[in-house]
Amino acid sequence: MHASMVLSLALKKQFVVDSLRQNKVHTAAVAFDELALLQHANPSLTNSCNAFLQDIKTFLEPRYAMASVWGKAQVGLDIKLAHLEHATPSWEAL
């Protein structure tokens, strides 16, 4: 993985952990949306994204909330992409 991507994920992880320590799950949820987008855009980063999630899991209580927030991020991305694909000509989506 490129050094700038490692730094970006490290900074994102710090942001998410700080947000969760302050009970700002909604702020952390935005970062999960970005992580889902990153994983979708570059499948070779799947392992890095999964490692990121494993590191964050200990800070998110209750435990089921992690799966819920991550699932919402992935489903939300799928819905947005499907909407763009069906509602917008490909040249306009760019």
- Tens digits of per-residue pLDDT, 39-66? 888 888 889 888 888 888 777 766 666 6
Joined tokens for residue 65: 């909330």
CA atoms within 13 A on the CB side of 72: 13
Three-state SS for 62? coil
**pTM score > 0.75 for this model?**
no
> For 41-74, b where at least 16 C-beta lie within 10 A, e where not — what string?
eeeebeebbeebbeebeeebeeeeebeebbeebb
Q: Which of 48-52, 75-79, 85-89 has the highest mean pLDDT?
A: 48-52
